[in-house]
Chains A and B, each alone.
Chain A
């Protein structure tokens, strides 16, 4: 490998970050999951800030972010999905770039995202994206089968992440409008009942829609196991395996529901009592263990309308991306003083 090849050097990986885009569509018939960003809204916003197509692959950060060194002339980056700031560490001093604002970082400088406490996932996009193969049309990493990303796995200390572009175009940095969080929606998570709600007792459906559930510690990119009241089956818990949509809430023999997320298996043999609407999947993907949530049933036409409305809102947000003020990136000391670092990015679950 030539020294001139532009890369991000992974000095410290953090907690198993992976490369994710909007997912691998078309290969589920081969048993290959869709994968992709748990919070596709944040991914799309981060990409627009750095001048990429919305669906370019970025680094999905969970719990603890990476430390990266720029080994390119310079790169433009943006962090979206958390209130944690991006730390830019260089010979001339350190600064903090707030989430939702792009920054140009020169060769030899380092980027660091520390502990992420307000979401299960956030995204660091890089202008031009990563020069990685796209098996079945996607760079998304599916670790279990070693597909996509960098060698089919999460990032490790010492990795060299190849960049498509070795230099960032000059120009003002860009910022999301202040109210961008509105795209996520709030309140009870909206679901469409089915496809197998008929396999449950009427009481189980009533409990699903009237109870508060808590995300358990068994939570990963495949799904979230929920603690809460049991949801009893009326017809047993084994069906002939059929397809699974992202957001399906399956209930195995334990009677404890599991919300299936991006890395979910393509097919499964447990009945699915309801399915999270696609408009609410991004905020569900952000839930961390301990988060509380409730569910509300909507009809299929309403669910489709919610998604279209969300897309319209996102289009407004993206149209509202504007030049960042010079003062947007601030010296570390000032930000600590004003206690702006550890804001709460609540999704609201009342």
Chain B
């Protein structure tokens, strides 16, 4: 699919690399994002990388769509520009019944046992495709095929902070309490978004995540330390370009 420029009113331009979710398309998004940030193009307010497109917010008092397309188009050929550094994380998750209201339902609908759902979910490494929807909300994929389900027909009005959820090809963490239509299969005690932290958002696009099943007692212990401000999750490894 050819790269397209889409207009979002007179304050944003989208560079769309495709309509589907895949790691290669997402890498192109991140590559263009890094390139544009390096070039400091006048009139650009900020850029927002998503699964398969880059949104460029601009100030129509300082530039125009026409001028921006002229600046950005030549950068599309700038391969190898990607800042390929990322971190690998292991995130503790309690899959116990008190934290996993939809686990039984997911098991029934996928034809797997609850134990098998947990083993499959925590058995692979995910890539953070994007942060969006809410502060620090990471979209991670790809979910193993056997766990793929559409979203719930009736979204919940209250999903607890830290909930680990799945739907379609993705798994997510709700950083704060919010409405939500995903299937809740566990909960992490690790805060995804802490305003007072130097890096308020824990994960960045491109990071790699594994989930580690923990018992309720360990969940409670980490949650208590996190609430007291004495818990920090460090990455397993930082990979630089």
Give the residue of A29, A240, A275, A300 whose beta carbon is less than 8 angstroms from that of B52.
A240
Residue pair B10, A266 in contact (C-beta under 8 Å): no
Residue pair A241, B130 in contact (C-beta under 8 Å): yes
Q: Closest CB of chain B to A328's CB: distance in Å?
A: 32
Closest B residue by C-beta to A193: B7
Give the residue of A29, A240, A278, A279 whose beta carbon is less than 8 angstroms from that of B47.
A29
Residue pair B132, A275 in contact (C-beta under 8 Å): no
B45 at the interface (CB under 8 A from A): yes
Residue pair B52, A242 in contact (C-beta under 8 Å): yes
CA distance A25 to B12 in the complex (A): 13
A145 at the interface (CB under 8 A from B): yes
Residue pair A265, B9 in contact (C-beta under 8 Å): no
Which of A51-59, A78-86, A304-312 faces chain B?
A304-312
Residue pair B55, A239 in contact (C-beta under 8 Å): no
Residue pair A28, B48 in contact (C-beta under 8 Å): yes
Q: Closest CB of chain A to B72's CB: distance in Å?
A: 15
Question: Chain A residues near B89 (CB, 8 Å)?
Answer: none
CA distance A279 to B137 in the complex (A): 31
CA distance A243 to B54 in the complex (A): 7
CA distance A244 to B133 in the complex (A): 10
Q: Closest CB of chain A to B183's CB: distance in Å?
A: 16
B139 at the interface (CB under 8 A from A): yes
Q: Closest CB of chain A to B194's CB: distance in Å?
A: 11
Most buried by A among B20, B60, B61: B60
Give the residue of A146, A266, A277 whose beta carbon is less than 8 angstroms from that of B133.
A266
CA distance A144 to B7 in the complex (A): 29
Residue pair B9, A245 in contact (C-beta under 8 Å): yes
A247 at the interface (CB under 8 A from B): yes
Question: Chain B residues near A247 (CB, 8 Å)?
Answer: 9, 11
CA distance A240 to B7 in the complex (A): 17
CA distance A196 to B64 in the complex (A): 20
Give the residue of A31, A239, A272, A276 whose beta carbon is less than 8 angstroms from that of B201.
A31
Question: Chain A residues near B133 (CB, 8 Å)?
Answer: 31, 241, 265-268
Question: Chain B residues near A300 (CB, 8 Å)?
Answer: 7, 10, 65
Closest B residue by C-beta to A145: B135
Residue pair A195, B14 in contact (C-beta under 8 Å): yes
Do A194 and B6 form a contact, CB below 8 Å, given A246-B11, A278-B11, A278-B60?
A: yes
CA distance A231 to B137 in the complex (A): 30
Residue pair B139, A241 in contact (C-beta under 8 Å): yes
The residues in B between 27 and 75 inclusive whose CB is less than 8 angstroms from any CB of A are 45-55, 57, 60-61, 64-66
Do A29 and B65 form a contact, CB below 8 Å, given A245-B55, A246-B11, A248-B9?
A: no
Question: Chain A residues near B144 (CB, 8 Å)?
Answer: none
Residue pair A242, B53 in contact (C-beta under 8 Å): yes
Most buried by B among A30, A239, A240, A300: A240
Do A307 and B48 form a contact, CB below 8 Å, given A145-B135, A239-B19?
A: no
Give A233-276 as 1s and 0s: 1 = Cβ < 8 Å from B's Cβ atoms.
Answer: 00000011111111110000000000000000111100010011
Residue pair B9, A243 in contact (C-beta under 8 Å): no
Give B114-157 as 1s and 0s: 1 = Cβ < 8 Å from A's Cβ atoms.
Answer: 00000000000000001111111101000000000000000000
Residue pair A31, B136 in contact (C-beta under 8 Å): yes
CA distance A193 to B103 in the complex (A): 42
Question: Chain A residues near B139 (CB, 8 Å)?
Answer: 241
A320 at the interface (CB under 8 A from B): no
Residue pair B51, A32 in contact (C-beta under 8 Å): no
A48 at the interface (CB under 8 A from B): no
CA distance A135 to B175 in the complex (A): 18
Give the residue of B53, B55, B60, B135 whose beta carbon is less than 8 angstroms from that of A304.
B60
A155 at the interface (CB under 8 A from B): no
Give the residue of B11, B50, B135, B137 whose beta carbon is less than 8 angstroms from that of A242.
B50
B21 at the interface (CB under 8 A from A): yes
CA distance A277 to B65 in the complex (A): 13
Q: Closest CB of chain B to A259's CB: distance in Å?
A: 11
Apart from A243-B54, A244-B55, A272-B8: 11 A-B pairs, beta carbons within 8 A:
A28-B48, A31-B131, A31-B132, A31-B193, A32-B135, A145-B134, A145-B135, A243-B50, A277-B10, A304-B64, A304-B65
Closest 8 CB pairs of A and B: A243-B55, A267-B132, A275-B9, A245-B12, A303-B10, A195-B6, A245-B8, A304-B60
The 23 listed contacts between A and B (C-beta, < 8 Å) are: A25-B45, A28-B46, A28-B57, A30-B131, A191-B9, A195-B8, A239-B19, A241-B50, A242-B14, A243-B50, A244-B55, A245-B57, A246-B11, A266-B132, A267-B132, A275-B12, A277-B10, A278-B9, A304-B10, A304-B64, A304-B65, A306-B10, A311-B61
